[in-house]
A = this chain, B = another copy of it.
């Protein structure tokens, strides 16, 4: 049985594994925990029942017994913190890995999401090119610093951890842009993450859900 997570009934990324259920699935696969998925439509995400799970009307949520969590980063941390597979056992190493979780979500991700906000707003808005450039320069600086830190290491700080899982997932948002291609070691880092069996299982599961829920039959049920 295991925990219940929510995800998009129809992921807007069309199964590319960029929605925020992906890191939660990946973390559950890394620690070998089965889980159940409940699909939520865009309309239902903003309704009372789902807002009781996540006041921001987003996916994913995580339910297990009496515990209800939201925020993909918090859920991944919760899964990781329950053991020593995704966070080191030694206290200082564990604190350092947690620092990298926050770095992924509070230093690296925000300008990447700002860039998406600008892209989604469309080229017709005045100053599109300039604003995109302002934000891309911030992304570039962060990637450069991250690239320097990673160097030739496989992972950010010793063994693969929840921090690498989240950082790889954040960097995957840049797939298809040329920003990441300036940093070959970051490309190799993302590829190492995507090459993990747990990543592949999580990716295949969300893709199968996307394809299944978009089949004519699933569509008719609505």
Instruction: Name A105's contact: one of B56, B106, B127, B149 (CB within 8 Å).
Output: B106
Instruction: Name A102's contact: one of B67, B73, B125, B146 (CB within 8 Å).
Output: B73
Tell me, yes or no, whether A203 is within 8 Å of chain B by CB. no
Per-residue B-contact encoding for A73-93, CB less than 8 Å = 1, 0 else: 111011000000000000010
Known: A103-B70, A127-B126. A145 touches B57 (CB 8 A): yes
Known: A56-B142, A77-B102. A71 touches B114 (CB 8 A): no
Return the chain B residue nearest A130 by Cβ: B125
> In the complex the two chains form, is A55's CB within 8 Å of B145's CB?
yes
Residues of chain B with a CB closer than 8 A to A31's CB: none
Count identical subunits in the complex.
2
Instruction: Name A114's contact: one of B105, B117, B130 (CB within 8 Å).
Output: B117
Kindly state the separation between the CA atoms of A71 and B51 in the bound complex, as whole angstroms: 30
Residues of chain B with a CB closer than 8 A to A135's CB: 117
> In the complex the two chains form, is B95's CB within 8 Å of A69's CB?
yes
- Closest CB-CB distance, A59 to chain B, in whole Å? 13
Kindly state the separation between the CA atoms of A126 and B127 in the bound complex, as whole angstroms: 5
Which residues of A, 158-196, contact B by the 8 Å Cβ criterion? none
Residues of chain B with a CB closer than 8 A to A106's CB: 71, 73, 105-106, 109
